Copies of this chain bind each other. A is one copy, B any other.
Amino acid sequence: MTRTDVNSLGEFGLIDHLTRDLQTLQQSTIHGVGDDAAVIDIGDQYLLASSDALIEGIHFDMMYTPLKHLGYKSVVVNLSDICAMNGKPQQILVNIAISNRYSVEAMDELYAGIKLACEKYNVDLVGGDMTSSPKGLVISITALGRVDKDKIALRSGAKEGDIVCITGDLGAAYLGLQILEREKQIHIDHPGVQPELDDHDYLIKRLLKPEARLDMIEQFAHVNLVPTSMIDISDGLASELFHIARSSDVGFLIEENGVPINMKAQEQALNFKIDPITCALSGGEDYELLFTIKPEDVDKVRFMPDIYLAGDVLAASEGVKLSTKGGNIHALKAQGWNHFDTNA
């Protein structure tokens, strides 16, 4: 019998392979696999449903991840998927598996973070289960939300001539991770040495305690803006651009000057001898929003805080390209995190 390694397909390739022949049996199913959240008809509105797992040793390292932050982040990354559909989250279900290395007090910390995120985002924890795991901690969360039918933003709606926008700033979480990994290695090699994290508050916070951009969804509603397409930036800008390019059958020209990168991230990237744009394109875990708008809507976002115009939607034949600060045009390649590269 043939044995094909999952690494040969990668995460997205494997999902495509396994779900390629799915059929829809229920009338209420509007969109299934292939966007940030599933879209289900509930009458006046659409229900949005998204589910993601965070796994110890893959998505987080207990050596430098406080449990309260982890609980908060595990909720936020799921709420971010609801926001990416231009929706508002309302409920979450939380499945947790723990090895008996974890105490009741540790779970109290984890849940304190989960509850804090629920309060902040006005979301109810309504279910899930708790079980033991042979090894480590697994957190699997499902977020449910709503969106008015005429407000939904899919990955598939971008059109040639639309304008590309990005919220917040990119690459900082990736650099926060590099710093924590460096200090972890120093701690392993020299157990007495204290970690040097003081100057890196912003970068580390971006990694350990990200936020979902629900504030942006509220701003869009305020100015009556519906993005033509949207996705959350969880795997690096390049990967998300390719998702929209594929779903919308378009290409992109992104201006390096238009990609927002925080000053702290720029400095730290240079310290690590990495080009800052590389952190934005291929880093990950920013949980910002990448979206496209009609040209006539530009004035609605031009003076909105924390939104950056980053380029143009092109025809699909143009591919996905970056116009660098130096004036060169580079074709981008889809990258993003590929968790199957890890050893097991």
When the two chains form their complex, are residues A32 and B126 in contact, meaning their CB atoms are under 8 A apart? yes
When the two chains form their complex, are residues B42 and A122 in contact, meaning their CB atoms are under 8 A apart? no
When the two chains form their complex, are residues B56 and A18 in contact, meaning their CB atoms are under 8 A apart? no
Binds B, one of A3-11, A181-189, A278-286, A293-301: A3-11
When the two chains form their complex, are residues A104 and B6 in contact, meaning their CB atoms are under 8 A apart? yes
Residues of B within 8 A of A328 (CB): none
Once A100-B344, A103-B5, A107-B14 are accepted as A-B contacts, the answer to whether A127 and B26 lie under 8 Å apart by CB is no
Among A4-48, those with CB < 8 Å from B are 4-9, 11, 14-15, 17-19, 22, 24-26, 28-29, 31-33, 37-38, 40, 42-44, 47
- Is A217 an interface residue when CB atoms closer than 8 A count as contact? no
Residues of B within 8 A of A138 (CB): 53, 55, 97, 133, 138, 140
Residues of B within 8 A of A53 (CB): 95, 97, 129, 131, 138, 140
Residues of B within 8 A of A90 (CB): 26, 28-29, 40
Residues of B within 8 A of A37 (CB): 127
**Copies of the chain in the assembly:** 2
Q: Which of B47, B108, B131, B136 contacts A11 (CB 8 A)?
A: B131
Among A58-91, those with CB < 8 Å from B are 58-59, 90-91
Residues of A whose CB lies within 8 Å of any CB of B are: 1-9, 11, 14-15, 17-19, 22, 24-26, 28-29, 31-33, 37-38, 40, 42-44, 47, 49-53, 55-59, 90-91, 93-95, 97-105, 107-108, 111, 115, 118-119, 122-136, 138, 140, 142, 144, 146, 339-340, 342-344
> Known contacts A17-B104, A53-B97; can you find 19 more A-B pairs with CB under 8 A?
A2-B105, A3-B105, A9-B104, A14-B107, A22-B115, A25-B124, A26-B122, A26-B124, A28-B91, A32-B126, A40-B91, A47-B144, A49-B144, A51-B128, A51-B129, A53-B129, A101-B344, A134-B344, A138-B138
